[in-house]
Chains A and B, each alone.
Chain A
Amino acid sequence: MSASLSPARIAVEPAPDGTPGPAAALRRNARRLVTLLRQRPAAAVGLGLIAFFVIVSVIAPWIAPFPTNVASGPVYAAPSARHWLGTDDGGIDVLSLVLVGGRVSLIVGAAASAVAIGVGGLFGVVAGFFGGWVDILLMRITDYFLVLPDLVLMIVVAALWGPSLSHVILVIGLLLWTSTARIVRAEVQSVRERIYVRRARTIGVGNASIIVRHVLPQVAPLLIANAVLSIALAIFDETSLDFLGLGDPNGVSWGIILEHANDHTAATYGAWWTVVPAGLCIAAVIVGCYLLGQALEDALNPRLRISHFAFRSWRLRPLVGRGKEAT
């Protein structure tokens, strides 16, 4: 992979007037994505899963067979020809709930991930680019946030703030940025020392313009990979917050479906159909994000030590690490 990357990196070295700007970088990244999908079936499967759920969520109001706010059958009716996935504790059609519920979960996932990428990207770029005491300060803050158990902090803040959709998004986003900040910082530190950046600086290009024109296009693919992985984590957290009664009380989401099943003792009725579909949808979206994000990350940076998900084993070892990059 890295062999095929290097010519591209040479090609991006800008003429003094900087013509191959963001547009060229965008085209190059699009080409990379197509190659990636062709080379790694896992990435294609992941993208397919995500696309499927996005499309279903968009058209959910039109394909949902019943309304999600009125009873359309008896309480806890088993799956039948009329209600494919049965009904819940209020006699509401579970299939419709699951279809519509995907919207909130995906919106929260995407929005919270955007917040996390924004904050993490900013921290990472500023710390990595400027170095010195700015770097030390920002990374210290990141370290503290990294140690704290996310969900507990989310629960407390969400409880104090009151349940609503925007609060859930902000709470998740503002606590999910730490690994992104670290990964981006490491990448920016290496970009900063590349020849074309040094040349740009020599001819008097300002910091802001170097960041926008030269650093961001190089970091962008990494940010996208991280965004995809963050979506999965955000959906996980959203499901948990909803389950603990801290989500939007009037909304329908996969987490709230599970919360209802637990609160209204679906288990005593043996109503497995209220639980199984929502959980499988969550798992499918998360597997999708995982496959796509992991493939992107592997392709972009095969030697990456710090990462989201299962491979975060190196995430917390910044002060101990073996490599120089880890400090």
Chain B
Amino acid sequence: MIRGDYILKRATFAIVTIFVVITLNFFMFRVLPGTAVTNLAKVPNASIQLKRVLRREFGLSLPAWRQYLDYLIQLFHGNLGISFANQLPVASNLKSALLNTLPVVTIATILSLILGIATGVLSAWRRGSKLDQLSTNAAVVIYSLPTQWIALILLIALSSYLPTAGTQNPFQIGPVSFWAHLGDQLTHMILPVITLVLTLYGGNTLIVRSALLETLGEDYMLTARAKGIGKSRMMRSHALRNALLPITTLVALSLGTIVAGAILMEVVFSWPGIGEALYQAVQQRDYPMMQGGFLLITISVVLCNLIADLLYFKLDPRIQG
């Protein structure tokens, strides 16, 4: 019963948040003075007829609640509007962008987690040693470097060795074997992935270290030591297992950082993903794309948070709703 309660509570929160996001998305673009669709009707030298046609086409003459209702209905039919820039449905634009973003972000998140856990455990184990100080200080410095700066530095330093733009070689003509194509795509991924890993690494290490240190101070660790369990077993089955909880949280929490990092990274490396799409939409004032991108990113973040919550619940039997 309690378990069901907890899951229900978290799921309700996620659903309500998504509604808040959708509503925010609607009002931000329509109600803020002088923006979006109001601007659209302000085409320079627009005749009164054109304005009227535009108003009718976008349903601007209807009352706000009607517009909101229409927006919701269209949204649930998967209609995100038509991009001003390339006249294609926003949904299909976003889908291809998402397919480009996901592999890079997934690989980078996993790599940065592995690295962060490894160094975090090491420095918590040897707390106060030279190694710990070095690792912690390095993590703080790496954490403080702006993503776009890391990306630009990598770009300048390695541009003669690795591809620095796009997802594949645009000059590859004719039929190419599957493996050659895959290899090409993977080499294009190297710099974006390194950038994101560095962006996430600093925070990960610091959190793993502090989570472990807190666990090491618990009473059951003292008991384990009194029982005479070896240090590595103590670390593995007592400390790390309990520290898994904050680490799960960490993944959910770094979502904001991952999103921000991905946007900046994609802009530098011209990676045609969600971040680049949002950036282009901002540059071209392509409002339907901006709206769609904002919605997609925020809803995925909310859903990932929900998954992390449920995972946390599964990992920690002590939680009671």
Contacts and interface: CB of A to CB of B under 8 A. Distances in A.
A160 B297 contact: no
A242 to B, nearest CB: 10
A319 interface: yes
A284 B249 CA distance: 28
B25 to A, nearest CB: 8
Contacts of B17: 144, 147
A294 to B, nearest CB: 9
Contact of B283 (A245, A268, A314): A245
11 contacts: A149-B297, A240-B147, A276-B153, A286-B144, A287-B141, A310-B202, A313-B210, A313-B246, A314-B249, A316-B252, A316-B305
A23 interface: no
Interface stretch (A14-22, A115-123, A150-158): A150-158
A315 interface: yes
B13 interface: yes
Contact of A283 (B13, B145, B250): B145
B64 interface: no
Contact of A279 (B145, B206, B293, B313): B145
Interface in B155-204: 155-157, 159, 164, 202-203
A236 B153 contact: no
Contacts of B202: 310
Interface in B35-92: 35-36
B259 A151 contact: yes
A290 B10 CA distance: 32
Given A290-B140, A313-B249, A262 B301 contact: no
B253 A312 contact: yes
Most B C-beta atoms less than 10 A away, residue of A232, A239, A240, A322? A240
Given A148-B298, A160-B36, A279-B146, A314 B246 contact: yes
Contacts of B156: 266-267, 270-272, 275
A317 B318 CA distance: 14
Given A271-B156, A320-B319, 8 more contacts: A148-B302, A151-B259, A160-B32, A239-B146, A239-B148, A240-B260, A268-B159, A319-B10
A159 interface: yes
B139 to A, nearest CB: 8
A161 B32 contact: yes
A143 interface: yes
A156 B28 contact: yes
Interface string A125-167: 0000000000000000001100111111101110111000000
Given A144-B20, A156-B290, A270-B156, A313 B253 contact: yes
Contact of A317 (B155, B249, B279): B249
A282 interface: yes
A232 B141 CA distance: 13
Most A C-beta atoms less than 10 A away, residue of B20, B32, B147, B290? B20
Given A160-B28, A243-B264, A311-B207, A152 B148 contact: no
A240 B144 contact: no
Contacts of A319: 9-10, 13
Contact of A282 (B149, B203, B318): B149
Most A C-beta atoms less than 10 A away, residue of B140, B152, B206, B290? B152
Interface string A283-327: 110110011000000000000000001111111110110100000
Interface residues of B, number: 65
Contacts of B203: 309-310
Nearest to A239: B146
B263 interface: yes
B125 interface: no
A275 B282 contact: no
Interface string A154-183: 011101110000000000000000000000
A258 interface: yes
Most B C-beta atoms less than 10 A away, residue of A160, A290, A322? A160
B259 A313 contact: no
Given A287-B140, A310-B207, A152 B278 contact: yes
Contacts of B298: 148-149, 152-153
Contacts of B211: 313
A322 B318 contact: yes
A275 B268 CA distance: 13
B297 A152 contact: yes
Contacts of B206: 310-311
Contacts of B279: 244
Contact of B148 (A155, A258, A286, A313): A258
B11 interface: no
A234 interface: no
Nearest to B313: A320
B143 interface: yes
A159 B207 contact: no
A141 B309 CA distance: 19
Nearest to A265: B155
Contact of B21 (A148, A150, A286): A148
A243 B267 contact: yes
A246 interface: yes
B312 interface: yes
B282 A267 contact: no
